[in-house]
Amino acid sequence: MTTQDSRKFKRLSFDKPVELYPVFPLYQAKGNEGAKAVLAGRLTNIGGGGVGLVADSPLRAGSVLKLHFELKEDRWIEVFGKIAWAKDGSAGVEFFSLTRIPQRTIKRYISEISPG
């Protein structure tokens, strides 16, 4: 069974910038670097249950963050998620505490652009 087959929600390719706000530590700071307040990245896919992303800073599985991104023109989404896995700057983030409005908006977006 592939990862896609085991997911509850269909994922679609998605290429948009994302702002990541640490809620719990996202990465271990080296030396006097300290944790940044906002990290930048790009979303690579999106589904009703989460997103894939590539970040400019290393991420750590188990960390919690707030994601802020433009779903489509003039439709911004802000959601919370937990990093399910992270490797070489890439990560899979599972949404949690998703309120009805962002959840409906994401599902509607996916159904609008999803083939078939």
User: What global pTM score does this model have?
Assistant: 0.79
Note the pLDDT of residue 1. Answer: 37
pLDDT in tens, the chain (116 residues): 344 445 566 778 999 999 999 887 655 555 444 455 789 999 999 998 899 999 988 899 999 999 999 998 888 999 999 999 999 999 999 998 767 778 788 888 888 887 65
Q: State the total domains in the chain.
A: 1
Note the pLDDT of residue 101. Answer: 74
Note the pLDDT of residue 103. Answer: 79
Residue 95, domain CATH? 2.40.10.220
> Which structural domain, as residue segments, surrounds residue 54?
3-113
Please write down the HEC assignment for all residues of the chain.
CCHHHHCCCCEEEEEEEEEEEECCCCCCCCCCCCCCCCEEEEEEEEECCEEEEEECCCCCCCCEEEEEEEEECCEEEEEEEEEEEEECCEEEEEEECCCHHHHHHHHHHHHHHCCC
pLDDT per residue over 64-90, tens digit each?
A: 999 999 998 888 999 999 999 999 999
